[in-house]
């Protein structure tokens, strides 16, 4: 039982609306990326890192909480768009087994070692997806109580806070609430 959780509240946070990407050629699907995606999503049937839905369970509503339409692969930590702006020597410090020079760095970017497995919701949703949520708000979804909602839109905030408070009230005895 969680005795530390208090009622939810809305805290305004400035969120960047524009993203900066270095100039780069039009992104093309490389053979390395295609093979990586196929292996991770279809052959290994790996789950979404956040909600655990798999390609094989997309059609099962009990295992697909966000009604995702696909399991996808997300470049991480090196986004393809940033490739030309990265120094392979700095990447090699963190990934010495996979990056030894510019050529191996290029292969690394589309390899399984630079991918997160995410469902379409946890990847691209305008509120919850890794491309749109603040980092702390994105990763915490993996650990939230079932049904707990994070809202980044004031229009939904009061409804979401009410849902979250119901979860808190059911989980924490009145005398133990902070």
pLDDT at 56: 98
pLDDT at 178: 46
User: How confident is the model over 47-96, as pLDDT tens digits?
Assistant: 999 999 999 999 999 999 999 999 999 999 998 888 888 899 999 999 99
> What predicted TM-score, i.e. pTM, was given to this entire model?
0.73
If you average pLDDT over residues 145-159, what whole number do you get?
66
Is the domain of 79 the same as that of 121? yes
Is the domain of 99 the same as that of 150? no
Is the domain of 72 the same as that of 136? yes
SS (H, E, C) the chain: CCCCCCCCCCCCCCCCCCCCCCCCCCCCCCHHHHHHHHHHHHHCCCCCCCCCCCHHHCCCCCCCCCCCCCEEEEECCCCHHHHHHCCHHHHHHHCCCCCCCHHHHHHHHCCHHHEEEEEHHHHHCCCCCCCCCCHHHHHHHHHCCCCCCCCCCHHHHHHHHHHHHHHHHHHCCHHHCC
Is the domain of 98 the same as that of 117? yes
pLDDT at 2: 45
**Domain limits for position 133:** 31-143
């Amino acid at each position: 039982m969680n005795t530390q959780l208090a009622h939810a509240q809305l805290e305004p946070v400035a969120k960047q609306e524009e993203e900066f990407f270095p100039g780069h050629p039009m992104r093309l699907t490389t053979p390395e990326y295609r093979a990586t995606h196929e292996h991770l999503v279809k052959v290994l049937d790996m789950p979404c890192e956040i909600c655990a839905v798999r390609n094989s369970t997309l059609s099962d509503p009990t295992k697909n909480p966000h009604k995702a339409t696909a399991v996808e692969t997300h470049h991480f930590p090196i986004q393809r768009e940033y490739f030309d702006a990265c120094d392979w020597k700095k990447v090699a410090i963190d990934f010495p087994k996979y990056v030894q020079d510019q050529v191996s760095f290029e292969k690394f970017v589309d390899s399984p070692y630079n991918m997160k497995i995410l469902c379409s919701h946890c990847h691209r949703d305008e509120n919850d997806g890794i491309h749109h949520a603040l980092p702390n708000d994105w990763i915490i979804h993996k650990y939230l109580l079932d049904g707990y909602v994070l809202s980044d839109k004031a229009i939904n905030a009061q409804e979401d806070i009410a849902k979250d408070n119901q979860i808190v009230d059911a989980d924490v005895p009145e005398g133990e609430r902070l």
